[in-house]
Amino acid sequence: MKLYHWTLNRTKLKAKGFVSHQDRHSEGKLGIWFTDQLVGEPEGSKPEIKMVTMEVPEEDITQYEEINKGSGYRAFRIPASIANQYELQYPTLYIDRGVFKLIPF
């Protein structure tokens, strides 16, 4: 399964990997938030926000899935120690006239 994550500091992520943290939406759970598809409008994202993807066997992450009924996507809060076991990809998001795609690099 391909998972998507947005980050402000891709350079730090490449050097040190993910670090588990809490945010106000996690109900106290530690982990890194991933989705199974791009969420939100890419045209509205800030230029400094970069995309990170990784391929993960679904059976390795089902226990970390969050319940998002009716959202249209699946979300996972994966511990950093698990996420760091997989190879990260750093694609470029290409946007042209409302059409967007990820270009792998």
Residue-wise pLDDT tens digits, 85-99: 999 998 877 666 655
Alpha carbon distance 93, 102 (integer Å) = 5
| Domain with 6 in it | 2-103
Report how many domains make up the chain: 1
Taking the whole predicted model, whether its pTM rises above 0.85 is answered as no
CA atoms within 13 A on the CB side of 103: 7
Contact 57, 78 (CB under 8 A): no
Kindly state the tokens that stand for 5. Answer: 């994550």
- Position 69 scores a pLDDT of 75
Write the pLDDT tens digit of every residue in 4-37. Answer: 998 888 889 999 999 877 655 556 678 899 999 8
- Position 1 scores a pLDDT of 95
